[in-house]
Amino acid sequence: MIKLIILLGLAAMALATTDSYGNHGRVIANTTMQLLREAYNLGEDKNVVASPLSFMILLALFNSGAHQNEITRFLGGPHFESLYKNLSLTLSKQDAETLTVANKVYVASKYNLKESFTSAVQSFSCSEVDKLDFGNADAAAATINQWINEKTRGLIKNSIKSDTLSADILTALFNVIYVKGHWEKPFHPEFTRNKDFHISKDQVVQKPTMYKQEYLSYRESPELGARLLGLRYKETSLEMVIVLPNEIDGLPSVLEKAAEKGIIDGALEKLNEFKSHVIVELPKFEVRSSLDLNKIAPKLGLPNLFREPASGLVEGGSVILSKVFQDAFIKVDEKGTTAAAATAGQAGGISLLIVTYQDFKVDHPFLYIIKFEDKILFAGTYVH
Ligand SMILES: *[C@@H]1O[C@H](CO)[C@@H](O)[C@H](O)[C@H]1NC(C)=O
Ligand SMILES: *[C@@H]1O[C@H](CO)[C@@H](O)[C@H](O)[C@H]1NC(C)=O
């Protein structure tokens, strides 16, 4: 049996729409919340950022050769499987400075991919196949890291350690998602101050916290026990949603409900139809996660992912998937970037009106997502 390794590296930078969720958006949202819950529960560090979609795109790519029912079910069923290719194409048409999706298949130099699999890979946009000598682990790791480094614009370096590679690896699959959004209305750095952040009911730390007042998408979700705030990026279609538990220590329960009942109905759905004047206080943050999907996948209805031989990929044998992991990074700050100052004072007339402001003070552990239209690209938790 030949071993196959899937590696997955990705990065989201920054902070950065539609509101009606199609069935594919719902499949992705369900899996996203389930994966986030597992990553949160398994992780020693409760600050987590993940791109479940990136993992799903990678599995769709793999399954175009492997044809495993378990994966098909995980991806939402036969009808949905082809949509990941379509989504990959849609995302690849965005401005690469803002959003990059890239897939890569490396094959051990001594083997050949089946032609049917090669053409399946090529039909996924932004997907390439290259030969690599995994026996020379240092050089192989350097080659892969260089590709990841390039695709993530230097945000993820040395993701792959040479001791995770060996001569018995046949193929490595990679997927990278990179997002860099710029707030539609940036935060002013001069309003950023150290403020209390309640890690738990009896533990408080100081965090540099951004501040702004704006007319924003805002709603309460009794279903989740949380309030939601939508922060749009200048790049249309991209939006960050902060899900702030009502209780200081409410995050585990909100995450559990989101994973069990979904996060769309009664929460994300129609968020943009609920508008309020909001005073936002949001900590700046930066999170890096390395997820071991070998541990997480079995909990997501993929118990055989690393056991079932796949014969449709290479000439003259079957392969077993040996590893999938994901590196992700997110940085949230005042900007986005350059155009910051320009939009600042735009709320002109509002001060003349008598307006009731919602206070949205993000001063305890919360959940966030970044979505592209109705597809969740990233989700994470911020705890400390
Ligand atoms: C593929 O994506 C495009 C653009 O998002 C969309 O218009 C089209 O309907 C999609 N095709 C399928 C089969 O879903
Ligand atoms: C998402 O999860 C919810 C809650 O488990 C379920 O009712 C719904 O059918 C799921 N949607 C899809 C498209 O899988």
Q: Which bound ligand lies closest to the C-alpha atom of 84?
A: 1
Task: Please check the confidence at residue 11 and state whether its pLDDT lies above 50.
Answer: no
Is residue 137 within 8 A of residue 165, CB to CB? The reply is: yes
Is residue 13 within 8 A of residue 51, CB to CB? The reply is: no
Q: What is the pLDDT confidence band of residue 170, given thresholds at 50, 70 and 90?
A: confident
Specify whether domain 189-283+346-382 bears CATH 2.30.39.10: yes
Ligand 1 geometric centre to CA of 89 (Å) = 9
Average pLDDT of the segment spanning 190-214: 95
Task: Please check the confidence at residue 352 and state whether its pLDDT lies above 60.
Answer: no
Is residue 336 within 8 A of residue 183, CB to CB? The reply is: yes
Record the tokens describing residue 66, joined without a space. 């492997």
Q: Whose CA is nearest to atom 4 of ligand 1?
A: 90
Q: What pTM value is reported for the model?
A: 0.88
* Mean pLDDT for the chain overall: 84
- Percentage of the chain beyond pLDDT 90 is 43
Domains 2-181+286-331 and 189-283+346-382 share a fold: no
Separation in Å, CA 139 to CA 133, 175, 323 = 8, 20, 19
Ligand 1 geometric centre to CA of 96 (Å) = 20
Q: Whose CA is nearest to atom 4 of ligand 2?
A: 261
Where is average pLDDT lowest: 5-14, 67-76, 224-233, 271-280? 5-14
- Between residues 100 and 6, the one the model is more confident about: 100
| Burial class (CB within 10 angstroms; exposed 0-12, middle 13-18, buried 19+) of 333 | buried
Record the tokens describing residue 337, joined without a space. 């970037």
The whole-angstrom separation of Cα 129 and Cα 107 is 7
Q: Whose CA is nearest to atom 6 of ligand 1?
A: 86
- The helix or strand, by DSSP H or E, that contains position 313, with its residue range, turns out to be none
Task: Please check the confidence at residue 223 and state whether its pLDDT lies above 90.
Answer: yes
Q: Whose CA is nearest to atom 2 of ligand 2?
A: 262
In 3D space, the residue among 321, 325, 265 whose CA is nearest the CA of residue 293 turns out to be: 325
Q: Is the CB of 26 under 6 A from ligand 2?
A: yes
Helices (H) and strands (E) in the chain, counts: 9, 18
Q: What is the pLDDT confidence band of residue 7, given thresholds at 50, 70 and 90?
A: low
What is the structure's pLDDT at 350?
35
For 44, phi and psi rounded to 5 degrees? -70, -40
Which ranges of the chain would DSSP assign to H, the alpha helix?
A: 23-42, 52-66, 69-74, 78-81, 83-92, 115-123, 137-151, 251-261, 293-296
**String of DSSP letters for 207-243:** EEEEEEEEEEEEEEETTTTEEEEEEEBSSTTEEEEEE
Q: Which bound ligand lies closest to the C-alpha atom of 76?
A: 2
Ligand 2 geometric centre to CA of 263 (Å) = 9
Q: In what order do the strands lie in the sheet with 8-9?
A: 8-9, 325-332, 285-292
pLDDT in tens, 266-290: 899 989 899 999 999 999 988 888 8
Is residue 60 within 8 A of residue 81, CB to CB? The reply is: yes
Ligand 1 atom having least distance to the Cα of 86? 1
Give me the residue label for tokens 């040479």.
162
The whole-angstrom separation of Cα 248 and Cα 363 is 8
The whole-angstrom separation of Cα 289 and Cα 311 is 32
Q: Is the CB of 31 under 6 A from ligand 2?
A: no
The whole-angstrom separation of Cα 258 and Cα 381 is 13
Ligand 1 geometric centre to CA of 86 (Å) = 6
Ligand 2 atom having least distance to the Cα of 264? 1
Q: Is the CB of 30 under 6 A from ligand 2?
A: yes
Q: Whose CA is nearest to atom 7 of ligand 2?
A: 261
Q: What is the pLDDT confidence band of residue 303, given thresholds at 50, 70 and 90?
A: very high
Ligand 2 geometric centre to CA of 262 (Å) = 6
Give the CA diameter of the chain: 75
Q: Ligand 1 pocket check: which of 18, 90, 123, 237 to mutate, most ligand atoms within 8 Å of Cβ?
A: 90
CATH of 2-181+286-331, one of 3.50.50.60, 3.40.50.300, 3.30.497.10, 3.40.50.720: 3.30.497.10
Ligand 2 geometric centre to CA of 3 (Å) = 34
- Beta-bridged to residue 206, according to DSSP, are 196
Ligand 1 geometric centre to CA of 378 (Å) = 21
pLDDT in tens, 238-268: 899 999 999 999 999 999 999 999 999 989 9
Q: Is the CB of 23 under 6 A from ligand 2?
A: yes
Instruction: Give the angle 242-183-344 at the CA atoms, nearest 5°.
Output: 120
Task: Please check the confidence at residue 62 and state whether its pLDDT lies above 70.
Answer: yes
Ligand 1 geometric centre to CA of 113 (Å) = 29
Average pLDDT of the segment spanning 161-189: 82
Q: Whose CA is nearest to atom 12 of ligand 2?
A: 27
Task: Please check the confidence at residue 8 and state whether its pLDDT lies above 60.
Answer: no
Ligand 1 atom having least distance to the Cα of 89? 2
The dihedral sign for the CA sequence 92, 97, 99, 100: positive
Domain range summary for the chain, segments of one domain joined by +: 2-181+286-331, 189-283+346-382
Average pLDDT of the segment spanning 145-165: 83
Q: Quote the DSSP letter at residue 265.
A: I
What is the structure's pLDDT at 29?
97
Q: What residue type is assigned to position 379 of the chain?
A: A
- Percentage of the chain beyond pLDDT 70 is 90
Task: Please check the confidence at residue 300 and state whether its pLDDT lies above 50.
Answer: yes
pLDDT in tens, 328-342: 888 888 884 322 111
What is the structure's pLDDT at 279?
94
Is residue 337 within 8 A of residue 306, CB to CB? The reply is: no
Q: Whose CA is nearest to atom 2 of ligand 1?
A: 86
Q: Is the CB of 259 under 6 A from ligand 2?
A: no
Ligand 1, pocket residues at CB < 6 Å: 83, 86, 90
Q: Whose CA is nearest to atom 5 of ligand 2?
A: 261
Q: How many CA atoms lie within 13 A of 71 on its CB side?
A: 24
Q: Ligand 2 pocket check: which of 30, 31, 257 to mutate, most ligand atoms within 8 Å of Cβ?
A: 30
> Do the strands 2-6 and 169-181 form a parallel or antiparallel pair, or are they unpaired?
parallel
The whole-angstrom separation of Cα 358 and Cα 214 is 10
